[in-house]
């Protein structure tokens, strides 16, 4: 079946209009865009930046005080996994929210390709030119170019070239699965969505447990107390990470059908902050993957519901929405800026205040370059290639 949007379950899947969609759950027309979630995307990307800035690897470390550097790594370590998990759940949520009645698999995959791959190729080239070519075997570079590095269970392969780009290999698998998962969510009775949500959360939480029971934790990878195979299976492997993406799909369907009980953005946010603290006291793989999954789902749903009702949030102003729009470019570029900055500075280490100042400059440079990549590559590619030219001429509606 090429068309992947079904008619669904009664009034739970009402027809949508060019300006919004109506549901039996929230009532009225709902916005196609969710600006608060757009703003929150940059917060998630910034968390990944913080994590990478804390790595004690020689090619990134800036702080000369060993204790301060170790403390910074300990504090920032959970933020990387939290940011990636947030992106995976959010991806399933927003794709479900903006899915169009009568859309086709081919049209969906085309939009995703032109949105993601041009930026990916530009940053791959940039990383290769600046530093990766000197230390990356050709076969690893080619795997990275085609987003296949996530299928090799080797730490130095799936984090080669531009380290954060491994997650795009996982996203490619998610996009391939999306039509089937969306059809499943839409054909699920609204009363049973809670079981699917619980099941996907259980899958996320079970992954570290199975890895710890099935495999030895030694020798450990450089970033934490888990072996290479444990880290790969729990954190990187796309098949396991589909649980995060599927959670976003079923969560969006629950919100759209009025089956989600919202506790609000404030309490959801506080719970999420609490999980960052909790991550310091649980086994490494739980901190990277599992402890934040429920608060992440709650915050995403709360932000969507707040936007649907026109409520105020700190994340829907013009500045935050712009930062959210460039967040994909920022995610791909920030590690390159950190690596290049270290190369420019040489082997010198700094006092904590100076190192923080350097990181602020690198953050600003990353944002500026991301704005350029968004304006010069991402937006033009989406406008020109997201639909066939003849289709665009007939129906020039904006891409969600």
pLDDT computed for residue 2 by the predictor: 53
pLDDT band at 30 (very low <50, low <70, confident <90, very high): low
| The two structure tokens encoding residue 6 | 């079904």
How, if at all, do strands 29-31 and 20-22 pair?
Answer: antiparallel
177 within some domain:
yes
Q: How many helices (H) and strands (E) does the chain have?
A: 17, 3
- Lowest pLDDT segment from 1-10, 21-30, 323-332, 388-397: 1-10
At a CB cut-off of 8 Å and minimum separation 6, what does 119 contact? 328, 329, 332, 373, 377, 378
Q: What is the pTM of this model?
A: 0.91
Residue 398 gets which letter from DSSP?
P
| Total domains in the fold of the chain | 1
pLDDT band at 241 (very low <50, low <70, confident <90, very high): very high
SS3 249: helix
DSSP 150-185: GGS--HHHHTSSSGGGHHHHHHHHHHHHHHHHHHHH
> Mean pLDDT across the chain, nearest whole number?
90
pLDDT computed for residue 334 by the predictor: 98
- How far is 236 from 171, CA to CA, in rounded Å? 11
In tens, the pLDDT along 257-271 reads 999 999 999 999 999
In tens, the pLDDT along 131-180 reads 999 999 999 999 999 999 999 999 999 999 999 999 999 999 999 999 99
pLDDT computed for residue 59 by the predictor: 86
212 within some domain:
yes
User: Is 50 exceeded by the pLDDT of residue 357?
Assistant: yes
DSSP 316-363: -SHHHHHHHHTHHHHHHHHHHHHHHHHHHHTT--B-HHHHHHHHHHHH
310 within some domain:
yes
pLDDT band at 129 (very low <50, low <70, confident <90, very high): very high
In tens, the pLDDT along 382-397 reads 999 887 654 444 444 4
Over pLDDT 70: what percentage of the chain?
Answer: 89
Mean pLDDT of 229-251: 98
pLDDT band at 10 (very low <50, low <70, confident <90, very high): very low
In tens, the pLDDT along 288-326 reads 999 999 999 999 999 999 999 888 999 999 999 999 999
Over pLDDT 90: what percentage of the chain?
Answer: 82
- Lowest pLDDT segment from 3-17, 193-207, 322-336, 341-355: 3-17
16 within some domain:
no
pLDDT computed for residue 18 by the predictor: 34
The whole domain housing 162 covers 23-394
- How far is 9 from 125, CA to CA, in rounded Å? 47
| The two structure tokens encoding residue 123 | 């940053």
11 within some domain:
no
| The two structure tokens encoding residue 251 | 């969560």
pLDDT band at 25 (very low <50, low <70, confident <90, very high): low
In tens, the pLDDT along 36-66 reads 999 999 999 999 999 999 998 888 999 999 9
105 by Cβ neighbours in 10 Å (0-12 / 13-18 / 19+) ranks as: middle
User: Is 70 exceeded by the pLDDT of residue 8?
Assistant: no
151 within some domain:
yes
Mean pLDDT of 104-133: 96
225 within some domain:
yes
2 within some domain:
no
At which residue do the structure tokens 């492997």 appear?
237
């Amino acid at each position: 079946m090429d068309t992947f949007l079904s008619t669904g379950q009664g009034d739970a899947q009402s027809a949508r209009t060019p300006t919004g969609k109506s549901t039996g759950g929230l009532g009225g027309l709902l916005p196609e865009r969710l600006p608060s979630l757009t703003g929150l995307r940059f917060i998630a990307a910034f968390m990944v930046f913080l994590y990478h800035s804390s790595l004690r690897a020689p090619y990134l470390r800036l702080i000369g005080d060993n204790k301060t550097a170790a403390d910074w790594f300990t504090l920032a370590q959970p933020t990387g996994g939290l940011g990636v998990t947030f992106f995976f759940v959010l991806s399933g949520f927003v794709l479900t929210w903006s899915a169009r009645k009568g859309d086709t698999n081919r049209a969906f995959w085309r939009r995703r390709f032109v949105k993601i791959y041009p930026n990916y190729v530009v940053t791959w080239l940039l990383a290769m030119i600046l530093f990766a070519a000197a230390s990356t075997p050709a076969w690893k570079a080619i795997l990275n170019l085609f987003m296949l590095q996530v299928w090799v269970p080797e730490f130095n392969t799936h984090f080669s070239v531009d380290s954060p780009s491994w997650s795009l290999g996982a996203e490619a698998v998610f996009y391939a699965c999306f039509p089937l998962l969306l059809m499943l969510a839409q054909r699920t009775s609204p009363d049973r969505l809670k079981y699917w949500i619980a099941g996907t959360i259980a899958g996320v939480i079970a992954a570290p447990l199975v890895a710890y029971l099935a495999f030895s934790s030694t020798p450990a990878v450089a970033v934490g107390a888990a072996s290479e195979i444990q880290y790969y299976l729990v954190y990187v492997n796309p098949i396991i990470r589909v649980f995060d993406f599927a959670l976003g799909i079923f969560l969006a369907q629950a919100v759209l059908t009025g089956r989600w009980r919202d506790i609000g953005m404030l309490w959801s946010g506080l719970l999420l902050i609490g999980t960052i603290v909790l991550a310091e006291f649980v086994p490494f793989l739980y901190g990277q993957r599992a402890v934040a999954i429920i608060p992440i789902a709650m915050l995403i749903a709360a932000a969507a519901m707040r936007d649907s009702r026109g409520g105020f949030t700190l994340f829907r102003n013009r500045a935050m929405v712009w930062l959210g729009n460039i967040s994909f470019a920022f995610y791909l570029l920030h590690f390159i800026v950190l690596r290049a900055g270290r190369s420019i500075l040489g082997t010198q280490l700094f006092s904590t205040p100076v190192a923080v100042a350097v990181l602020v400059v690198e953050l600003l440079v990353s944002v500026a370059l991301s704005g350029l990549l968004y304006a010069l590559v991402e937006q033009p590619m989406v406008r020109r290639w997201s639909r066939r030219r003849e289709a665009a001429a007939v129906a020039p509606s904006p891409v969600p």
